[in-house]
Structure 1
Amino acid sequence: MSEDKELFDEADIEETAVTVDDHDKKDDDEYEKICFMCRRPESKAGKMISLPNNINICTECMQKSFDTMSSSNINYNDLMNNIPNMPNISMIDLSTLQDQIPKKQKLKKKKEKPKEEETAKTLSIKDIPAPHKIKASLDEYVVGQDYAKKVMSVAVYNHYKRVYADKVDDIEIEKSNMLMIGPTGSGKTYLVKTLARLLDVPLAITDATSLTEAGYIGDDIESVVSKLLAAADNDVEKAEHGIIFVDEIDKLAKKKNTNQRDVSGESVQQGMLKLLEGSEVEVPVGANSKNAMVPLTTVDTKNILFICGGAFPELENVIKERLNKQSSIGFNADLKDKYDHDETVLQKVTVDDLKTFGMIPEFLGRLPVVFTLSGLTKEMLVQILKEPKNAILKQYKRLLALDEVKLEFEDGALEAIAEMALKKHTGARALRAILEEYMLDIMYEIPKDDSIGEVIITKEYIEHTGGPRILLRGQEPVRLEATEG
């Protein structure tokens, strides 16, 4: 019996070893080898020479090592013999230096596709949803902003048609990079997030305020592409069809009346020109800086859709100044305060206004689609509270439903919340802050009492002139019968 058990254990060990070997082999087949010295992947450096301890060296680095050894005057035999006698010096274990490269820094191999599959890929243009379908999907999540949703739907549809379509008569379709302008809290980032989720493409969202010119503290301009590569699971081919959203783009405007070098403004705009237009850039894998000892790969940005967004504060004053130049003295002259209370003045923006604001002409020329998002009105804020698929009210109702408590909001209470949000001038973000404040006591008290069946938020509670209506479980059916009778 013991012999059988022993044989069984040995068989298990052998099977486990085979499984581990197969897993490692599969892992090696899926990811590229990285040169230990220059950190380039196999697709760039060529065939690797494999050494013990999982060390791979490209032929170029190996040749350089041989050339250095042959041209040097050092007698390596004397050096090796004297090493043991030298104090505080020990042989370096290369395996500890190489270690295991993290998965987030490994590059996936490009799949070699047969010609038949390449032909089939061009037919996948039919799989791209039409603009009206894209807009209908956005309508489920985003309230209002119909013009912005229409522009984005058409631009994205045309972009992916360009990616998948063949060249006909040497006609190359240009990229439809976008610049969206809108006040804070109007839904710029939320629109892009929803769009990427609907299209099921990699999305990288980055903040322009952290970008600096190469050589200075901060993120390099290429780091935005590195983030997209990470979002695509280090699959270069997948990343090259993704979307990059650069938020706070207005912070890159040229600084006025300064004698210092503008390393985070105009120079970053100039550095982004090649990315927006489309070029092959070398980016680090799994890091933001090229100086880190990580693999580098090349990504072509010609099929990456760039969407830039910003609130552009004070841009309204630039537009009003341009419009007010038409005012003069006389009966038919425009008044200087004509546009002071115009809520749609941002929609009258032109490229010249953006140049005056501080954006360079070359940068604006690579963003052909410029559109604005309107500020939110009281009615739109009420809709945002209750209509979208993941509306804030639906989230709170779900939270209380887990405690078996029903939550309701009176229409007057929703209007009062919307009015308070308008005064904060932070758009839809203010709604969450206001609700958190008023729901705090309710969320704290309800778990104390199991007899509470329903909570109704009233207008008086929001205006601090009363409290919410609370119905106990035993009271609820009595109230309903009285109403029907």
Structure 2
Amino acid sequence: MSNLTPREIVSELDNFIIGQSDAKRMVAIAMRNRWRRQQLPPELRDEIAPKNIIMMGPTGVGKTEIARRLAKLAGCPFFKVEATKFTEVGYVGRDVESMVRDLMEIGINLVRKEEMDKVKVKAEKHAEDALLDLLLPSSKPKQAGMGFFNQGTPEELEEQPAADQSSTREKFRKMWREGKLDEREVEVEVTVQGGGVEIMSMPGMEDMGMQVNDMIGKMFPGKKKMRKVNIREAYEILIQQESDKLIDMDNVAELARERVEQGGILFLDEIDKIAGNQEGGGSANVSREGVQRDLLPVVEGCVVNTKYGMVKTDHILFISAGAFSYAKPSDLIPELQGRFPLRVELTSLDKDDFYRILTEPQNALTVQYKALLETEKLTIDFSREALEEVAFNAQKFNEETENIGARRLYTIMEKILSDLSFEAPDRSGDSVIIDKEYVQEKLQDVNEDRDLSRYIL
């Protein structure tokens, strides 16, 4: 990510998201500004706050997808949460600081996976040696956690000289690498989690319950037990155990905290639902405003206590989104508005956009369905006219019923291909062309009956 210019970031997002160039440019600049900030002297770097973003637009136009793809591209911790999940302290709902704790958990998993990839070669070597110790306990002093070869290791091995044992060990190593031992069974020691007592938490206090459970888990560590598994599965278990030995979790926590603080992205969806409006009742507006005031310190920068240490939120990038059909960004409290200085409106999708969504992205629906049915040896292909008909119907149903954006394509494609999906195992080797007439035939009933279309599509 550090090498990508804003233009290159937009180009990468174009591979998955159609249109919305203004939103892509804005998030690309926000990400590049993070890189620019890291190049500055420390005394100036700490003074530069992230430029948080509000994305406005109807559902299904790509707001969440832009944020998710951006985080994946950057390799930084990303967490999406609906603003409606939060309420004021004292009411049923989650504490706003819980989203920072969730982001920290994601950061830990991200860094831990990277560290495991770094030690993978060494862990595989150690796991292979441990596996040979399971197969040939006589060739090395038996260690805790090592089982025995259940399918009859020759007893003569116990009496072989060291040189012969070494030779036998290498023969077993070669057989293992050639896959000749995959189905043999060994006993391996594993840790059974959940030996302690589970504490049920009250609504709104889930985070405290998780921390208490974690503390109890440390007081009562998981029990060890022997499991009988085949060699291939034992090898995977041993790789995991050896990787855990090679990784310093304190270092992982430190790296994850730094990455969360400097590069984390929190996506606040449905933020318009907590904006006050003039039509709403007084108590409803008070509740919404209470959530906003709880969010304010987290967005403007505070310190949140997590089980991995204190996490500062000063430089976490907040991207919020909402349809803003009944409320406006100006309905948010002024302090919160000021913390989201960048605003961008995403446009509704039309027929041409739907056609491009079906054909251009790397993960287009047409590509997904082709691959799914190919597993049954059923080949399908779509004509251009068929996809144009799908796009036309998606726009029409969005206009006539409820506008759910690109998600309408999922319901239409599933309706069109449901019969083929059901019959696929019986049509192995067939090749089917989906043309315009085929699409019209499958959508005929919902096109003719408006009430039915509201329920089906």
TM-score range, shorter chain: 0.5 to 0.7
> Residue 368 of structure 1: which of 300, 320, 341 is its match?
341
Distance 2:76 2:30 in 1: 15
Give 1:464's aligned residue: 441
For the Cα contact (< 8 Å) 1:209–1:248, is it kept in 2? yes
| Runs (5+) with no aligned partner, structure 2 | 109-252, 445-457
> Residue 103 of structure 2: which of 216, 228, 232 is its match?
228
Q: Pick the structure with more helix per residue.
A: 2
Distance 1:155 1:177 in 2: 8
Q: SS at 1:260's partner residue?
A: helix
Q: Does 1:269 align with 2:330?
A: no
Q: Map 1:18-37 onto structure 2 (within 5 A).
A: none
> Residue 58 of structure 2: which of 171, 179, 183 is its match?
183
Counterpart code for 2:283: Q
Q: SS at 2:37's partner residue?
A: helix
Q: Does 1:440 align with 2:433?
A: no
Q: Map 1:231-270 onto structure 2 (within 5 A).
A: 231-233=106-108, 235-240=256-261, 241-256=263-278, 257-260=280-283, 262=285, 264-270=287-293
Distance 1:210 1:466 in 2: 37
Counterpart code for 1:309: A
Q: Label 1:170 to 1:300 Cα distance change in 2 as closer, same or farther (>3 A).
A: closer
Report Cα offsets for 1:345-383 as digits up to 9, x if no partner. Answer: xxxxxxxx532xx21111111101111111111111011
Q: Label 1:169 to 1:268 Cα distance change in 2 as closer, same or farther (>3 A).
A: closer
Report Cα offsets for 1:283-308 as digits up to 9, x if no partner. Answer: 4x4xxxxxxxxxx7421001111100
Report Cα offsets for 1:47-88 as digits up to 9, x if no partner. Answer: xxxxxxxxxxxxxxxxxxxxxxxxxxxxxxxxxxxxxxxxxx
Q: Label 1:206 to 1:163 Cα distance change in 2 as closer, same or farther (>3 A).
A: farther
Post-superposition offset of 1:390:
0.6
Q: SS at 2:304's partner residue?
A: strand
Report Cα offsets for 1:145-172 as digits up to 9, x if no partner. Answer: 1111111101111133224532467993
Q: Does 1:414 align with 2:289?
A: no
Distance 1:157 1:305 in 2: 12
Q: Map 1:303-382 onto structure 2 (within 5 A).
A: 303-314=315-326, 354-355=329-330, 358-382=331-355
Q: SS at 1:445's partner residue?
A: helix
Q: Map 1:157-172 onto structure 2 (within 5 A).
A: 157-163=32-38, 165-167=40-42, 172=47
Distance 2:71 2:44 in 1: 32
Q: Does 1:428 align with 2:406?
A: yes
Give 2:427's aligned residue: 449
Query: TM-score, normalization: structure 1?
Result: 0.57
For the Cα contact (< 8 Å) 2:358–2:366, is it kept in 1? yes
Distance 1:437 1:243 in 2: 36
For the Cα contact (< 8 Å) 1:214–1:220, is it kept in 2? yes
Distance 1:451 1:133 in 2: 42
Give 2:182's aligned residue: none
Counterpart code for 1:403: E
Tell me which structure has the larger Cα radius of gyration. Answer: 1
Give 1:209's aligned residue: 84
Distance 1:465 1:128 in 2: 48
For the Cα contact (< 8 Å) 1:163–1:303, is it kept in 2? no
Distance 2:38 2:268 in 1: 21
Structural RMSD (CA) = 2.3
Q: SS at 1:213's partner residue?
A: coil
Q: Label 1:462 to 1:264 Cα distance change in 2 as closer, same or farther (>3 A).
A: farther
Q: SS at 2:282's partner residue?
A: coil
Distance 2:46 2:100 in 1: 27
Structure 1 runs (4+) greater than 6 angstroms displaced: 168-171
Q: Does 1:129 align with 2:4?
A: yes
Counterpart code for 1:450: S
For the Cα contact (< 8 Å) 2:37–2:45, is it kept in 1? no
Instruction: Provide the aligned length of Structure 1 versus Structure 2.
Output: 291
Give 1:342's aligned residue: none
Give 2:210's aligned residue: none
Distance 1:364 1:466 in 2: 45
> Residue 278 of structure 1: which of 289, 301, 317 is its match?
301
Q: Label 1:251 to 1:153 Cα distance change in 2 as closer, same or farther (>3 A).
A: same
Kindly, what percent of the aligned residue pairs are identical? Answer: 37
Report Cα offsets for 1:424-453 as digits up to 9, x if no partner. Answer: 32111010111111111011123213352x
Distance 2:45 2:371 in 1: 56
Q: SS at 1:141's partner residue?
A: coil
Report Cα offsets for 1:20-72 as digits up to 9, x if no partner. Answer: xxxxxxxxxxxxxxxxxxxxxxxxxxxxxxxxxxxxxxxxxxxxxxxxxxxxx
- Point out which structure has higher relative CO (alpha carbons under 8 A, 6+ apart): 2
Give 2:241's aligned residue: none
Q: SS at 1:184's partner residue?
A: coil
Counterpart code for 1:244: L
